[in-house]
Structure formats: C-alpha cells, structure tokens
Amino acid sequence: MVERRSMLARLVPHVILCLGVAILAFPVYLCFVGSSHPQDVISNGQMPLVPGHLLTESYWLALTRGVARTSSEPVGLMLLNSLTMALIIASGKIAISIISSFAVVYFKFPFRMAAFWMIFITLMLPVEVRIYPTYKVVADLGMLDTYAGLTVPLIASATATLFFRQFFLTIPDELVEASKLDGAGPMKFFWDTVLPLSRTNIAALFVILFIYGWNQYLWPLLITTRSDMQTVVIGIKKMIVTQDALTEWNIVMATAMLAMLPPVAVVVLMQRWFVRGLVETEK
C-alpha cells in the first residue's frame, strides 16, 4: 500500500497464511501417516508423526480387498461407483438444465414463466427435507440399488438452470437474428452457436457438480442396501466399528486418502474453472 512497510510487517501475512495452510493440511497429513503404519501400532495409540513403511501395502489392500470383514467390498469397486455416480450427476444436470434454460430464454410460449418458477422453487426443497417420501418414490419405481436411483433424483437442479439462464441472457441478440436470417431453426442455433459459446461455463459447472456428486452422503446411504453398490464416502463410514480395537485404521486412512484424491485433484488442477463455477452459481 502507501506506507513503506518494515521487514516485520511484510513477514506477518506470510506467517498467518502459513499457519492457516498448516491447520488445513494437518488432518490430511496425519491421515497419510496413518495409512503407512500397521494397524496394531495405531490401535495402541503409538503412531509416530512420520510416515512408516507400509504405504503401498495399505493402499493395495484397501483397493483390492477393503477391510477384512465379510461384508466389506474392495475400495476399488467403491471408487468406481463414486466415479459413475459423480459423472452421471454432473453430465445429467448439465444436459437437462442447458436445454431447459434454452427453452425458457429463447422461446415465447404460454407456460414459460410457470415452468421457470417451477424449476426455481426446487431451490427450496433440498433432499434433506423430503428424505423419506423421496425414498418411497424411488422404492416404488424399483430403483433402489441402481445407478438410476442414485442419480436421477439428484439431477434436477435449479442452480444449473439459473446459471445457464444468466449466461444466455448475455449472448447478444444479433446472433439469434443472424441465425434466423440464415434460415436456421432454433435447434441449429443451439448446436452451432449456443453450445460452443457455453463451453467455458459448462467446464466451470462440471467441476462444481462433479464434487457435489462425488461427495453425496445422505442419499446413497438410503438408496443403497447392497454393499457392492456402495460409494466410497459411504463405505468409509462403515469401515469404522464401534469397538475401536477392531477398526483397521490403516486401511480406513488409505481409503480416506483415495476418497479425497479425485475431487481435490479436480479443484487444484482445474482451479480457474472451479473458482468461476463456485462464484457464478451462487449469484
């Protein structure tokens, strides 16, 4: 700023920020350390603060076997379930909301505002307030323990629809007129103009929705009863048993690392899209 700052004053922000980074990273560091020590060392409460030598072993066991109990599934399978669910939710939400926003913005038809409000009001009905009736609908439709049951009820999203609507309103009207002059119909305009222009918005939204899908908890908890349909976020909770001596903490920690890796990697590697998606969808 304006004043000349002393050495100390220039150091303070770094100290505070490093402290913040350390506090945020510490739980994950301990988790990493925990995944590298044998179970009995952790259970005795004697885990050292530096990584041990069982790193590859824990991860291999987790991925291919899971915990040693009978009902347990390999984490590899759970990761696959999580990935499938996250991808279906993210692409499904984008697909159905981009076409519905296109309809609401570019067409004049009798029920336009009614349709818009109908979508808009779902903002006020998060799954947590309609848990059991929604469960019953899914059960009646025979969709328990299926990917459809896991994803379709979460796919309607007012946020994504509003997000695309905001963006479509910024597309200059001249483009529609030019397309009309060329004799192109609405769908050609959608494919040739709207969709290519929306690329960066789709990327930003995809990052946010992928994380949203991957991290779902309550819904998969209700909908999946078969252990081979479990997602990793659900699976990890079931690995912790009440009698602590029986919990294989090294496997649990390896699983936690594996469960965090995909969404964290998406945020870090696609940071620009992530920040944009987060800020824009909240408007």
Lookup: tokens for 283: 């408007």
Distance, in Å, from the CA atom of 47 to the CA atom of 276, rounded to the nearest integer, reads 41
Q: Binder to other proteins among 4, 53, 108, 199 (CB under 8 A)?
A: 108
d(CA 86, CA 253): 22
Say how many Å lie between the first and final Cα of the chain, rounded. Answer: 31
CA distance 224 to 71: 14
> Which of 56, 64, 69, 136 is close enough to bind other proteins by CB under 8 A?
136
Site for other proteins in 216-275 (CB under 8 A): 217-218, 221, 233-234, 236-237, 240, 244, 249, 252-253, 256, 259-260, 263-264, 266-268, 271, 274-275
- Interface with other proteins (CB under 8 A), residue from 68, 80, 123, 195: 123
Report the nearest approach of other proteins to the CB of residue 108 (Å). Answer: 4
Residue 242 dihedral angles phi and psi, to the nearest 5°:
-65, -40
Tokens standing for residue 249: 């903490």
How many residues contact other proteins, by CB under 8 A? 102
Binding span for other proteins by CB under 8 A among 51-59, 61-69, 70-78, 171-179: 171-179
Task: Please give the residues from 30 up to 59 whose contact with other proteins meets the rule CB under 8 A.
Answer: 30-31, 34, 42-45, 47, 49
Q: Determine if 156 is a binding residue for other proteins (CB under 8 A).
A: yes
Report how far residue 131's alpha carbon sits from residue 222's, in angstroms, rounded to the nearest whole number: 9
77-106 residues in contact with other proteins (CB under 8 A) are 95-97, 99-100, 102-106
126 is a site residue for other proteins (CB under 8 A): yes
- Residue the block writes with tokens 């700052």: 5
CA 261/CA 83 separation, integer angstroms: 12
Q: Footprint of other proteins on residues 56-75 (CB under 8 A)?
A: none
